[in-house]
């Protein structure tokens, strides 16, 4: 009887170790809920930020962030290529407050009219870039058909808009590129306590 109890205890211990090992090897890039404060910070930006809603074509938001240059990025879905620091998600929408240029450089591309505004198609249609109002919006997707669907569905998160509706015409250069980034503005000097007393 005692040997049977020991064998059973050993079996349970082995199962517990297997479960622990499998749990520690899980994918660290799985969907995790995006905290509300990340989306709220995008809603508070002084420029129009575009997104595809809480989910798009079955992909949930996996990241919402502002880069040091002021651009807002909202990613949908888990990495389809790469890994940490090189993650390529199924869909990414980037809104830049610097409307002085439309990125693309000398890369192979073509132009089209998208919801009433000129748009640049690059990377075989997997990247769509357009200026609307005071911002430039870039949509990057794993497939051209997904990028096209996103370009028809993209709407502001912090202003009125409807999927498929006409986009605002590009406004003159906002001068954003000539303004220092917040990190480049020195803090005002603070007086030392007790100095000169």
pLDDT digits (tens, 9 = 90+) for 30-64: 555 566 667 888 888 889 999 999 999 999 998 89
- In which residue ranges of the chain is pLDDT below 70? 1-37, 81-86, 102-108, 176-187, 194-197
Tokens of 16: 């517990």
Measured in Å, how far apart are the chain's first and last C-alpha atoms?
A: 86
Compute the distance between CA of residue 152 and CA of residue 179 in angstroms, rounded to an integer.
32
pLDDT at 177: 66
Neighbours of 13 (CB within 10 A): 10
Distance between CA 79 and CA 156 in Å, rounded? 24
Residue with structure tokens 């199962």?
15
Spatial separation of the C-alpha atoms in residues 181 and 42, rounded to whole Å:
17
- Entry pTM: 0.71
pLDDT of residue 7: 53
With beta carbons less than 8 A apart as the criterion, state whether 57 and 91 touch: yes
Q: What pLDDT, on the 0 to 100 scale, is given for residue 22?
A: 43
pLDDT value at residue 78: 86
User: How many CB atoms are located within 10 Å of the residue 52 CB?
Assistant: 22
Q: How much is the pLDDT for 194?
A: 65
Residue 100 φ/ψ region, left for φ over 0, alpha for ψ in the -120 to 50 degree band, beta for the rest: alpha
């Amino acid at each position: 009887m005692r040997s049977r109890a020991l064998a059973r205890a050993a079996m349970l211990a082995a199962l517990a170790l297997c479960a622990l090992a499998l749990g520690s090897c899980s994918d660290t890039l799985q969907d995790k809920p995006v905290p509300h404060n990340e989306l709220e910070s995008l809603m508070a930006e002084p420029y129009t930020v575009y997104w595809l809603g809480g989910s798009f074509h079955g992909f949930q938001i996996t990241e919402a962030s502002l880069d040091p240059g002021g651009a807002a990025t909202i990613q949908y879905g888990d990495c389809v290529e790469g890994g940490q620091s090189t993650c390529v998600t199924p869909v990414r929408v980037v809104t830049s407050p610097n409307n002085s240029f439309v990125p693309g450089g000398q890369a192979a591309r073509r132009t089209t009219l998208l919801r009433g505004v000129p748009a640049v198609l690059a990377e075989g249609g997997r990247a769509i870039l357009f200026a609307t109002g005071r911002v430039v919006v870039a949509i990057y997707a794993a497939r051209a058909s997904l990028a096209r669907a996103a370009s028809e569905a993209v709407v502001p998160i912090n202003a009125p808009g409807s999927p498929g509706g006409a986009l605002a015409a590009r406004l003159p250069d906002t001068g954003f590129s000539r303004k220092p980034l917040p990190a480049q503005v020195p803090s005002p000097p603070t007086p030392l306590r007790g100095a000169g007393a």
